[in-house]
Amino acid sequence: MSIMRVKSVEQSIQDAEAPEFRLRRVLRAVDLLGIGIGAIIGTGIFVLTGVAAATDAGPGISISFVFSGIACGLAALCYAEFASVVPVAGSAYTFSYASLGEFLAWVIGWDLMLEFVIGASTVSVGWSQYFVEALSALGLGLPESLTAAPGAGGAMNLPAAIIALLLTVVLVVGIRLSASVTNVVVAIKLAVVLFFIIFGAFFVKTANWDPFIPPHQPPDPSETGSALNDPLINAIFGSTGSFGVSGLVAGAALVFFAYIGFDIVASGAEETRRPQRDMPIGILGSLAVCSVLYVLVSLVMTGIVKYDKLDTAAPMATAFQAIGAPWAVGLVSLGAIAGLTTVILILMLGQARVGFAMARDGLLPVYFAKVHPKYRTPYRITVITGIVVAIIASLTPIDVLAEMTNIGTLFAFVLVSIGVLVMRRTRPDLPRAFRVPLVPVTPILAALACLYLMLNLEGWTWLRFGIWMALGLLIYFVYSKHRSRLGRGETIEDAAEEAD
């Protein structure tokens, strides 16, 4: 019973067409663009831009965004080819199953579960903070015991739990409703981002861009601490300090969080009307739009306020305060709430689709692959996802776990990039509506760029990631390896009977 057994593309597509597990194909290219932009524009643009500028890159943070955008762009090309060849739910998990084998597919599926659940929980907490502040501005304050986790001075974070459960209902009712809600909210936050760029451009002072790339600052020998608090790359090459060229790279690793989301578009392949054409448009289009907006926002932000004053939780609000426009802070809060809402929705969407695909393959209990008879959504795994996110968000003060989302996503990008090379060699006969240019150079560069960004994450993140993956390996060898439908030679009809 080989753990490297491969599930063919043809079998994946056949399983997706089984009546008991068929999802409703309703998404268009514009919906995929909305999902991509909705997932990408969130915490990264509203929070991390200022922190990265103040501590790592200075005004050159715009170059850091370009670095991260290039790494993501290379990976996006690989995602686009896979999504056009294997238009099935599951994203990187499904792609890996068709190219690298079951064991690595399980590894990436387990990894994606960490990325999506922790990411959705983290963003739910952020949403709660903005929501509570908005209520306070209206004189409708909530007791602290209901707005903070036990470790942060409260009993539970009720708003974080409520938003996760409400969005779970939206996801269960249907992908069409989810896409419609996403498109409306995306329009709101795009309007806010464009307002910041256009209005703020009139207050840019070029003197604030001097120096554009601050001189390199070597590490302070008096500041000693645990090696686990430093990027892993420091343990390999020694501490590099901040600013300068190394600061640009460190900034790129930090703001990478701002790009997470375009890969979730691939999770909707099975619910897209014309996936071969529309998936590449959704994946590459959303990444291109957001990359341009990120560079412009970072240029305007560092042009309004000197970079060393942007180490705040709300750099856009800081910029508006600096130009004497406190009234605009409310607009930023509205954009942040809208942005974070769609990020939560789409992260849970991605988790539900990956879990659904793994359950349909028998690597998770087939019970979770049951599709709602009316809405044609994987409602069981969606409800479980929503409950888990609500519990984590309401009871856990999440801070450094946000980096877990980064490392999980980058790891997925590396495997998908390698998978393109493998699939080109093993299945050159497959029709490819979209083809990655300059193979093998592009996939190799994508894998190396993402691996390098992974090395710029701190040691604690790598340690937690290793523990999570070790738990996943235990589950695979104890349960999933023996319950795999591919390994047991079961048909999709057998799975349908077991799911009932």
If phi over 0 gives left and psi between -120 and 50 gives alpha, with beta otherwise, what is residue 232? alpha
Instruction: Report pLDDT for 400.
Output: 46
What is the rounded distance in angstroms from the CA atom of residue 174 to the CA atom of residue 180? Answer: 10
What is the rounded distance in angstroms from the CA atom of residue 496 to the CA atom of residue 419? Answer: 29
What is the rounded distance in angstroms from the CA atom of residue 18 to the CA atom of residue 23? Answer: 9
SS3 231: strand
Give the pLDDT means over successive 10-residue stretches in the chain (500 positions): 80 80 80 82 73 85 89 88 81 86 91 85 81 74 76 79 93 73 80 89 92 79 59 66 78 76 76 84 89 91 90 75 76 77 85 91 90 86 95 73 70 88 88 88 92 81 88 94 88 70
Instruction: Report pLDDT for 273.
Output: 84
Helix ranges (DSSP H) in 138-263: 158-173, 175-201, 232-237, 244-255
Instruction: Report pLDDT for 283.
Output: 87
Domain 26-213+231-494 has CATH 1.20.1740.10: yes
What is the rounded distance in angstroms from the CA atom of residue 168 to the CA atom of residue 226? Answer: 40
Burial 8-19 (b: 16+ CB within 10 A, else e): ebebbeebbeee
Q: If you write DSSP's letter for every residue of 13-80 in order, what string do you get?
A: HHHHT-TTTPPP--B-HHHHHHHHHHHHSSHIIIIIHHHHIIIIIGGGHHHHHHHHHHHHHHHHHHHH
Burial 242-276 (b: 16+ CB within 10 A, else e): bbbebbbbbbbbbbbbbbbbbbbbbbbbbbbeebb
Cβ neighbours around 139 below 10 Å, total: 6
C-alpha to C-alpha distances, 487 to 101, 368, 473, nearest whole angstrom? 12, 19, 17
Instruction: Report pLDDT for 442.
Output: 93
Read off the pTM. Answer: 0.81
Report the alpha-carbon angle 144-145-148, nearest 5: 75
Domain residue ranges in the chain = 26-213+231-494
One-letter amino acid of 144 = E
One-letter amino acid of 61 = I
